[in-house]
Amino acid sequence: MIDLSTQYLGLRLENPVVVSPSPLCQELDNIRRMEDAGAGAIVLHSLFEEQIEIETRALDNAFNSEAGGYAESPSFFPEMQTYNLGPDGYLEHIRKAKAAVRTPLIASLNGTTLGGWTRYAKYMEEAGADALELNIYLLPTDPALTGCDVEKRYTELVSRVKASIRIPVAVKLSPYFSAMVDMAMKLDAAGADGLVLFNRFYQPDFDLRLLDIIPNLILSNSNELLLRLHWVAILYDHVKASLAITGGVHTAEDVLKAMMAGARVAMMTSALLKRGIGHIAYVLADLLNWMEEHEYVSIRQMQGSMSQASVEDPAAYERTNYMRVLSSYSVRGANA
């Protein structure tokens, strides 16, 4: 019998297909459906740093009002006041979800500063989360902020959160570090139990009619998987932390490639938004069929088999392969 199980963050999962954060995870019924479809684990939608700030500001305002001070309206982040559940609601959502399903649940914190992170990380652990994913969404626009400053902020945040809780902690990274292997090793040393590659920064667009900046959300496709495969394959033999791929996972083939690169899990959201939660079951069925056809008996058997440390030509992942890639492109018909 084919064994789809995998180890991620020290947790044993029935299979490597994990649901990544999205509004789908806000509804308890959806979480039940994800379990029924076979999800190996579920990463809940994020609690944002701004939401914690709103709650803190509201408490300060109430205190100041009672003391005769000026109670300023906490309206600095109006969208965040109505986004998902708020801090207390988020914790209650974890409790209800934990009581409703047996699938491992991973809470998510999104922000950039220490703030209330360590406090809410502890609250999430107490609410029943099996692990925590730190979605460190930092866009350094301050010219005085150096690359070393950014890296230090990441590692300090991970160290502080790890010191405050006992459950495993994963860190969701962007692909924009100048020395990715070094950064991954620093986070590994800081105590990260897992590294999730990569965060998808949502880029604003311009409305030329209204001359305004508008939010722009484009769902991923399988082509985005390539960047993730590249770096997971390189990192596989350099860090102890479990590696996860998120972004571009839509099919069983995508999951297989992620495993062979060295990932422990492959996370998907866009595929579920496009095709429905039941798509998980189809991916798992295709995964089993491929493994049976190619005589694989377990997911563990293939993990890391195509990593840089395992392939005959490690240069395929390095600059030395650049000319080969360029010369392999056919220009036939370009002058037609």
pLDDT tens per residue, range 278-290: 999 999 999 999 9
Beta bridge partners of 12: 7
Q: Which CATH superfamily is domain 6-307 in?
A: Aldolase class I (3.20.20.70)
Q: In the prediction, which pLDDT does 4 show? A: 98
For residues 55, 58, 62, 64, the Cα torsion angle rounded to the nearest 10 degrees is 120
Q: In the prediction, which pLDDT does 320 show? A: 57
Show the tokens assigned to 91.
Answer: 């914790």
Q: In the prediction, which pLDDT does 136 show? A: 84
Enumerate the domain spans of the chain: 6-307
Cα atoms in the 13 Å half-sphere on the side-chain side of 202: 7
Contact call for residues 304 and 245 (beta carbons, < 8 A): no
- Crossing angle of the two packed helices 49-66 and 86-100, in degrees rounded to 10: 130
Q: In the prediction, which pLDDT does 332 show? A: 53
Show the tokens assigned to 150.
Answer: 């950014």
Q: In the prediction, which pLDDT does 58 show? A: 44
- Cα→Cα distances 136→2, 196, 246, 262, Å: 36, 11, 15, 23
Q: In the prediction, which pLDDT does 110 show? A: 85
Q: No. of H helices and E strands in the chain? A: 13, 12
Task: Tell me the per-residue pLDDT of 171-210, one tens digit each, with 9 for 90 and over.
Answer: 999 999 999 999 999 999 999 999 999 987 777 889 899 9
Show the tokens assigned to 18.
Answer: 């994990």
pTM summary value: 0.86
Mean pLDDT by 10 residues, the chain (336 residues): 97 98 96 98 89 54 42 40 68 97 96 74 96 86 89 93 96 93 98 95 84 86 95 96 97 98 97 97 98 98 95 76 64 52
Q: In the prediction, which pLDDT does 321 show? A: 64
